[in-house]
Amino acid sequence: MAAAVCWMAGMFREWREAWLLASWKKRLRPFAWIGAGALVAWAGAWVLRNWLGSVESAEPSEMLAATARAGSRAPLTPRPGGPTAVLPKEVIDCHFEALGGVRRLESIHSVRMTGELTIGDGETRSITVLKKRDSRIRVSLGTVTGQFSMGLHPGDAWRAYWSHGKLVMVEDLDPEQKAFLRFALPVVSELFVALRREWPVAYLGRQTFNGKAAHAFEIELNEREKVRLFLDPETCLALGREELIVGEAGRLSVKRQIFSEYRDADGCLLPGRVESSTDEASHQTIEVARIELNPGILDSTFLRPEARAR
């Protein structure tokens, strides 16, 4: 032990003499190496911290992956003179966050809405709308003596009428009623559904909808049907939508819905007022009284009444 201490003391004396005899450049060289090493270590720590931060903040969700794919795949086709600075993915992310977040939207499988329907001539009826994923919807209207219902699910589309509690009529939906149900089908955001299923989505830039500037997106459902969704640049909520349908004779029909009076429904914002029209005619307004998310709706609710009775 004593020998080791003497050896260390001798080394220290030699180092001190060499230091006193060295020029000022040689004296600064060790400090330069130490400073460079510290700078490299700091830079590495900064990169590692930011990389870990981005990993932790990323949504572990299929939806975000779909959004990223849409952002890189969706063609930018803004109207002439329209701005192109806002990236589609930024607007989409803002829209989902405004509704309640991707995780909340993914957790919604069914919706029950009750309210009052006002038809163009002022006639009002009670209305109940039941929606469930996988293209299931049922709309029921109260009448003076009973109830009228329309249902849609994979493989069938029907309408039925009850009078004084007794089923008196069941038949197939006509094409117009079937289009109406498809028009109201999405459980939550139509843009969410489109990206989740990887439908073609295009960003059309800024357009005017109902007298307001809006981000316009176009969703291609099939060769004859497209939906345009208009988002408020300030709130990122949907101002409304238009469904463009080309009929068999080549005639274009435009169905429009205007959304307003958004309300919180268990952590998700949904419109409390929906105004609908077809080709600027046949106006209808739904005033929503109550919205329930994931109320536990059975699949049999959407079946034809006689099929359900068997």
How is residue 273 written in tokens? 């007022």
What does residue 132 show for φ and ψ, rounded to 5 degrees?
Answer: -145, 150
270: Cβ contacts below 8 Å, ≥ 6 apart = 111, 188, 262, 263, 288, 291
Centroid of chain to Cα 307:
35
pLDDT of residue 126: 93
Q: How far apart are CA 31 and CA 19, in angstroms?
A: 13
Q: How far apart are CA 63 and CA 53, in angstroms?
A: 20
Q: How far apart are CA 196 and CA 67, in angstroms?
A: 8
Q: How far apart are CA 214 and CA 301, in angstroms?
A: 37
Q: How far apart are CA 6 and CA 10, in angstroms?
A: 6
Q: How far apart are CA 125 and CA 140, in angstroms?
A: 10
Mean pLDDT (10-residue bins), the chain, 310 residues: 39 46 50 50 47 37 41 38 54 93 90 90 88 88 90 90 92 81 72 85 92 93 88 95 84 89 90 86 87 91 71
Q: How far apart are CA 111 and CA 295, in angstroms?
A: 7
pLDDT of residue 86: 43
The pTM assigned to this predicted structure is: 0.67
Q: How far apart are CA 132 and CA 153, in angstroms?
A: 9
Pairing type for strands 238-246 and 225-231 reads: antiparallel
Cβ pair 304, 160 in contact under 8 A: yes
DSSP 233: T
pLDDT of residue 259: 94
Q: How far apart are CA 201 and CA 66, in angstroms?
A: 11
Centroid of chain to Cα 252:
27
Q: How far apart are CA 265 and CA 27, in angstroms?
A: 71
pLDDT of residue 30: 53
Task: Tell me the angle at which helices 62-73 and 88-99 cross, rounded to the nearest 10 degrees.
Answer: 150
First to last CA, the chain: 98
- Bridge partner list, 255: 243, 278
pLDDT of residue 88: 74
